[in-house]
Amino acid sequence: MSTIGLETPVGREATAHHEEDTGFWSWITTVDHKRIAIMYFVAATAFFFIAGLKALVIRAQLMFPEQTLITPELYNQFFTMHGTTMIFLVAMPMAVAFFNYLVPLQIGARDVAFPRLNALAFWIFLFGGIYLNSSFLVGAAPHASWVGYATLTSPEFSPGQNTNFWLIGLSILGIASIMGGVNFITTIINMRAPGMKLMRMPLFTWMTLVTSFLLITAIPVIGVALIYLGFDRLFGTVFFQPAGGGDPVLWQHLFWIFGHPEVYILILPAFGVISDIIPTFSKKPLFGYPIVVYAGILIGFIGWGVWSHHMFTVGLGPIADSFFVAATMIIAIPTGVKIFNWLATMWGGSLKFTTAMLFCVGLLAVFTVGGLSGIMHASAPVNLQQHDSYFVVAHFHYVIVGGAMMGLWAGLYYWFPKVRGRFLDETLGKWHFWTTMIGFNLTFFPMHFAGLFGMPRRIFTYSAELNVDIYNQLSTVGAFIFGISSVIMVWNIVKSWRSGEPAPANPWGAPHLEWATPSPPHHYNFPRIPTVRSREPLWHKQERDEILAVTMPDPEEEPLMPNPSYWPIVLAAAITLSWALVMTGIWWVIALGILPVILATFMWAFEPAFPEGHGH
Amino acid sequence: MRLMRSTAAPSPPVGDRRISRLFFLLALPVLLALAGCAGEHPQSTINPHSDFAEIIHSLYVSIFWWTMLILAVVWILLTWVVVKYRRKSEDEQPRQIRGHLGLEIGWTVGPALIVIAIAIPSIQAVFATQRPVSEDAMEVHVTGHQFWWEFHYPEQGITTANELWLPVDRPVNLRLHSNDVIHSFWVPKLGGKRDLNPVPAVREGQERRYNWLYFTPLETGVFMGQCAEFCGQSHALMMKRVVVATEEGFQEWIDRWFRSEGADFPTEAPLESAGNPLDDRAAVAGSLSANGGGDDAPVAADLARDGGPEAGLNGYGSSADPAVYRTASATFGQDAPGATAAAGLHSEDPLVTRGREVFLGSTCIACHAVQGTSAQGVIGPNLTLFGTRYTLGAGIMENNLENLIRWIQDPMGIKPAVAMPGVDYPGGNWPATGLSDEEVEAVAAYLLSLK
Amino acid sequence: MAQAATASVEEHGHTSTGVSNWKVGFWTFIASECLFFGTLISTYMVYKGRAVVGPYPEEIFDVLHTTISTTVLLFSSLAFVLALHATQQGKKGIAILWLFFVIAMGAGFLYMEGTSYLKYIDYGLTLGSSTFGSAYYVLTGTHKVHVILGMVWIGALIWLLFRGRIPPAKSEQVEIAGLYWHFVDIIWIVIFTLVYLIQ
């Protein structure tokens, strides 16, 4: 625990401040939410390629029945790490990149509530991700699938360090997620500009708030489950050991009590993104704003009561099955309401199909497919056939890629000009969009059929007799097209970062506060904090003029911003190290490992957050 | 108000060239579905052959159409707005509509009604498929192992492995549990899956809680299934067959079990009495094609290892395409040998006698049992009537002499992480068997003679 | 509207809710902790009565002993309230004294619980002896780690008070540590009730 009180809200005191440093070390020590956002995005994209390459190997292995491209053990490691990486190191941090960049700008704040905590969360995430992937270097990558069901993870059936890497890696990442959740909740609740009432916040900020609440409530549950698993593996407890009276099904409950909110942690940010983009390119305010907000909150709430729909085959009995069928059906309703509200926003609008908007439309088209296949296996009896088959693989890729990732890519094209002051190339963008649409659908649509024809998931090969070759071949071809689309995206980012067409402050004519800053924004975001009077402040001429008069001119004196600090990265390294030492299973080594954490925490706590003589 | 009217009855904008791309996407699934109908799918989830599978299938079909309705509405609306409201000039200033209470209520209540229409039959089916067990149901205890299946018939006192024999039209209640990790029993044509959980130990006098799967097979045939819960390295190679035989055929199988005394089993047993094989075959083939499956063509010839009257046994089930037997062999080694390589093995064959001697004198019997012999191991699959099995290695390849020889020599080369020692490496808790090539062949011949 | 000149005023207290960021953030963290302990306690409850071998809870729990240790912990919360009051009044010496009492009572609680642990181990209850042992030790052990962290934190506060770095205007530092300490106490009350009293 750090000593409190040293990190007050970002100071707004004007003081002479030198121009921002841009060297390598300035990135290491930065506490600027915008730079942290960029680092999150870059890291998540790197992990996206690492996990994507694994997917391509998996697809190559499955292209023909009974292939032996890679060994079963390696295959199991690949699909385990593909899932773990895509969820915890790609989809989540990429959404967090957007939270970081946009939330302070959208609510009219200079930074998040706890800038150093923000940096710490990033470094913990990065080190946790590197730690998790380093398991490949020692040939002991996790191999018990991303859900790690007991008893496959117990010492008896998973000797070696593979599962230790997994459980410790996820614990480390969980710490970062809780820190992020606390930070964004505080920021959104407490640091809104004057007049920025909750019901005037952009939808993206709203969905960040809901997601953050899900993070701080769902992560502790998996945290406890991972502690149990760690104790089972290292200290001989019997939480999930049937011989000692432990019930492996408890793991499944704990995992999915976390796991289902996790699904909404992945999808709600994307819903927020497209709720901001669609109105801009329709020239119409969001249709049914309060309904869309409430639907998001409702999804967050009901998301807690549906976890056992992942467990219909576990044998919970007809009463529990029925309850979870009903709850799951109910959650489909607010999701549907959102889709109709987006359609109604576009209805009667003036639609401009930039790449960002194309991705939004693409999301609506393909996410609906994922939602509807979800309704199919929300029906418990049907689930008994579809569960753990490729039908489910198709379903959740339609939801996570077709929903979450498409939304974030839409956001990438939409906000890149703000981040860089240059547009992403629209031609390449359209190539990216269409190759994504074709590659994605070609990869995942045939999987519905493979699943309906009885191909189970998590198998390193399949019998030729199943007669699902054609679907697997289409999927493999699609996967490689999808891979190419990702290369196009990165090429576009790199090219446009250097030489994209310059972008003005508000290139799309968007309504929200982030567009009332120069592109890219000052490191202090707003020279003076504007006052907000409506939901679309930049769409009302008088309000816009007032706001721009405050936000655009350079200040005579720059606002005071928090000091850069080495301690976040040092503390993050100490925390990662202390967790990694848990692998030894020797209590005094683990105890020693805590020392650097305590030391770094104290150094952090006693370092002034602001330049000397200010703030305190 | 314009919104209201148009939402109610949007007409698909047929003929607009700009939407052809979207229609292509729409057509893709249809094409794929057509492609799917062309083949034969032994693990199809949409080709029910039991009451359980039929309940699920009819539910699935109704939900499928409801979801297609929603998909059509969303896609048509989306196509419509994308085409109709494309920006024509930058000066356009659309009406700033912020919402409409009636519409919001409409698209809340509409989908709500649909999900109710889905939820009610779903819950009914939940109870229908987990209904109380009828008195004449046959109980079978299924135990999952890494990576094979054990089937114990308490009523008959039989324990077999990997191929579950069931009489047609008689309800069966499977008691499922595992001794290691979680597996899942799934034979799609006979219904949904249910997990085989390791059952926690309990205090004296408390009841252990098991999972059950209850269904009635409605047609004879050999049905393919495999483990549906990731269970470790060779999860993909944990397959099984369910042989649904006629009542008489099933009884014959049981009788043979007890008549069999290892290699001493008289080969001239009157197998003709085992139902009417030819009639059964015809019935199986007929019923399957009536079901639109057509994928279980009788291939008794492929499986007949003895010719003569014994071929009849294979008639109870018609097997799947022999391609299945290629699975492991094509994956891990040389091509599959001819299907009838072991033909002509009889108990009086000196090779068989020799094999029996080797088998009973080796560590094989620490894990394996053969009814009527001193082999009474319970760790590995029970090998009684091994010669009647269609497949070996938990359903991954055809059961014939050459495959069996390879299996005994090098089980881990075929199936990684299997707990069986090879001739020159240990496995499980057992040392290498150290059998010579001659001994392996003899043991294989002996096992195949067990019918 | 924010003017540079009024910045220092805003800095101390101007937030959307009027509550400081630290407090909002800390309450959020406590919400997260609630789920954390909620899961631990739920696991204990789920496994209640399912231990395969003894010793069973009813055989080893000494409710009187635990009642005393619980009371000690409860009184530490009272001492914390008084310490906070003294800090707000600027009475640094009294504040330090009360915080010492908090730490002492925390240590007393840990000592009493530690002796219980030793007794239970004597009875044969270990981490791996049964689900009861696993769930009990991990639940109460996690709580004890929280108590220890709280004591370290309070130790740091004593040092800061001693150095005169927590004037009344910054008493929120003590207040937030208090939030944590009270939370840890309340969690113990819940554990005491569900684990020891309702058997």
Going residue by residue through chain B (451 aa), what tens digit of pLDDT does each one get?
333 333 333 333 333 444 445 555 556 666 666 555 556 899 999 999 999 999 999 999 999 999 999 999 999 999 999 999 999 998 889 999 999 999 999 999 999 999 999 999 999 999 999 999 998 999 999 999 999 999 999 999 999 999 999 999 999 999 999 989 999 999 999 999 999 999 999 988 888 889 999 999 999 999 999 999 999 999 999 999 999 999 999 999 998 888 765 444 433 333 333 333 333 333 333 333 333 333 333 333 333 333 333 322 232 233 333 333 333 333 222 333 333 333 445 667 889 999 999 999 999 999 999 988 888 899 999 999 999 999 999 999 999 999 999 999 999 999 998 999 999 999 888 899 999 999 999 999 999 998 8
> Residue B2: closest CA among chain A residues belongs to which residue?
A348
Secondary structure E strands in B4-105? none
Q: What are the strands of the beta sheet with B138-145, ordered from one edge?
A: B158-161, B148-153, B138-145, B172-178, B211-215
Q: For residue C83, what is the enclosing H or E element?
A: helix C63-89
Cα A332 off chain centre by: 21
Neighbours of chain B (3+ CB pairs under 8 A): A, C
Omega within 30 of 0 (cis) for the link into A520 = yes
Which of C74, C108, C65 has the alpha carbon at shortest distance from C190? C74
Scanning A456-515 for CB atoms below 8 A from C yields none
C125 touches chain B (CB under 8 A): no
Whether the predicted pLDDT of A17 surpasses 90: no
> How many residues belong to chain A?
616
pLDDT of residue C189: 96
Whether residue C2 has pLDDT greater than 90: no
Residue A557 confidence class, pLDDT cut points 50, 70, 90: confident
Q: Helix C131-162 and helix C92-123: axis angle, to 10°? A: 160
pLDDT of residue B373: 87
CA B29, CA A373: separation in Å to the nearest integer? 13
Among B199, B203, B206, B207, pick the best mutation site for testing chain C contact (most C Cβ within 10 A). B203
Strands of the B221-226 sheet, one edge to the other: B163-167, B239-245, B221-226
Question: B136: burial class by Cβ within 10 Å (0-12, 13-18, 19+)?
Answer: exposed
A143 closest CA partner among A125, A159, A160, A163: A163
- For residue B260, the model assigns a pLDDT of 63
Is residue C163 less than 8 Å (CB to CB) from chain A? no
Q: Is the pLDDT of residue A217 over 70?
A: yes
The number of residues making up chain C comes to: 199
φ/ψ of residue A505, rounded to 5: -60, -45
Q: How many residues does chain B have?
A: 451
Chain A residue numbers touching B33 (CB-CB < 8 A): 449
For the C37-42+59-197 domain, the top CATH level (class) is mainly alpha
User: Cβ–Cβ of A238/C21 closer than 8 Å?
Assistant: no
Residues of B in contact with C52 (CB under 8 A): 201-203
**pLDDT for res B340:** 33
Domain residue extents for chain C: 37-42+59-197
Q: What is the pLDDT of residues A340-358, one digit of tens each?
A: 999 999 999 999 999 999 9
Q: Which of A66-70, A131-135, B185-189, C188-192 has the lowest mean pLDDT?
A: A66-70
In C, residues 123-152, which contact A (CB 8 Å cutoff)?
A: 126-131, 133-135, 137-138, 142, 149-150, 152
What is the distance of C-alpha B197 from the center of its chain? 18
- C-alpha distance from A35 to closest chain B C-alpha (Å): 34
Name the CA radius of gyration of chain A, rounded: 24
Chain B positions touching C53 (Cβ under 8 A) are 203
> In whole angstroms, what is the distance from residue A82 CA to residue A80 CA?
5
Pairwise CA distance, residues A68 & B332, whole Å = 8
Is the pLDDT reported for residue C112 higher than 80? yes
- Complex prediction ipTM: 0.93
Q: What angle is formed at CA A176 by the lines to CA A172 and CA A179, rounded to 5 degrees? A: 140
Question: Is the CATH number 1.20.210.10 carried by domain A24-606?
Answer: yes
Q: How many CB pairs under 8 A join B and C?
A: 8
Which residues on A lie below 8 Å from B176 (Cβ)?
Answer: 315
With CB atoms and an 8 Å threshold, state whether B193 touches A288. no
Residue in chain C lying closest to B204 (CA): C52
Q: What's the token pair of residue A563?
A: 């000091």
Residue from the list C28, C134, C172 with its beta carbon closest to the beta carbon of A238: C134
Ranges A206-220, A312-326, A600-614: which has the least confidence: A600-614
Q: How close does chain B come to C116, measured CA to CA in Å?
A: 25
Query: Average of pLDDT values for A281-302?
Result: 96
Provide the chain C residues 29-58 that lie in CB contact (below 8 A) with chain A.
29, 31-33, 35-36, 38-40, 43, 46-47, 50-53
Options 2.30.110.10, 1.20.120.1200, 3.30.70.60, 2.60.40.420; CATH for B138-201+209-448 is 2.60.40.420
Contact: A245, C25; criterion CB under 8 Å: no
For chain A, positions 84-123, list CB contacts with chain C under 8 A: 113-114
Taking the domains of chain B in order of start, what are their residue ranges? 2-83+100-129, 138-201+209-448
- Judged by a CB distance cut-off of 8 A, whether residue B203 touches chain C is yes
What tokens appear for A133 in the block? 């992937």
Residues of chain A contacting C153 with CB distance shorter than 8 Å: 1, 3
Q: Mark yes or no for CB contact B195/A315 under 8 Å.
A: yes
Which residue on chain B is closest to A76 by alpha carbon? B233
Q: Kindly report the number of other CB atoms within 10 A of residue B356's CB atom.
A: 24
* pLDDT at position A258: 96
> Alpha-carbon distance B307 to B311, whole Å?
5
Quote the CA–CA distance of B336 and B324 in Å, as a whole number: 11
Q: What pTM value is reported for the model? A: 0.89
CA distance C52 to chain B (A): 4
Q: What CA–CA distance (Å, rounded) separates B164 from B156?
A: 13
Closest Cα of chain C to B97: distance in Å?
A: 30
Query: Quick check: C51 and B203 CB within 8 A?
Result: yes
- Minimal CA separation from B429 to chain C, in Å: 25
Residue B276 pLDDT: 34
* Residue B154, token pair as written in the block: 């308490």
Which pLDDT belongs to residue A143? 95
At a CB cut-off of 8 Å and minimum separation 6, what does C64 contact? none
Q: In sequence order, what are the beta bridge partners of A559?
A: A14
Q: How confident is the model at residue A4 (pLDDT cuts 50, 70, 90)?
A: very low
State the average pLDDT over residues C158-184: 93
- Both structure tokens of A448: 């519905």
Query: Structure tokens of A251?
Result: 């793991």
Distance CA B104, CA B196 (A): 45
Rounded Cα gap, residues A345 and A288, in angstroms: 8
Is B290 within 8 Å of chain C by CB? no
Is any Cβ of chain B less than 8 angstroms from the Cβ of C119?
no
H or E segment to which residue A341 belongs = helix A318-346
Residue A233 CA to residue C127 CA, distance in Å, equals 12
Check CB contact of C79 with chain B, cutoff 8 Å.
no
Q: For strands B158-161 and B148-153, give the pairing.
A: antiparallel
pLDDT of residue C107: 97
In the structure, what pLDDT confidence band is assigned to residue C15 with cuts at 50, 70 and 90?
confident
Q: Could you count the other beta carbons within 10 Å of the beta carbon of residue B62?
A: 16
pLDDT band at C126 (very low <50, low <70, confident <90, very high): very high
Indicate yes or no: CB of C29 within 8 angstroms of CB of A113: no
Chain A residue at shortest CA distance from B82: A351
Is residue A378 within 8 Å of A329, Cβ to Cβ?
yes
Exposed/middle/buried for residue C101 (C-beta within 10 Å: 0-12, 13-18, 19+): middle
Contacts of B203 in chain C (CB under 8 A): 50-53
Q: Is A606 within 8 Å of chain C by CB?
A: no
Whether residues B200 and A245 touch (CB distance < 8 A) is answered with: yes
DSSP, residue by residue, A485-517:
HHHHHHHHHHHHHHHPPB--SSTT---SGGGGS
pLDDT class of A190 with cuts at 50, 70, 90: very high
The answer to whether C50 faces chain B, any CB pair under 8 Å, is yes
- Scanning every residue of chain B, which has its alpha carbon at the shortest distance from the alpha carbon of A352? B87
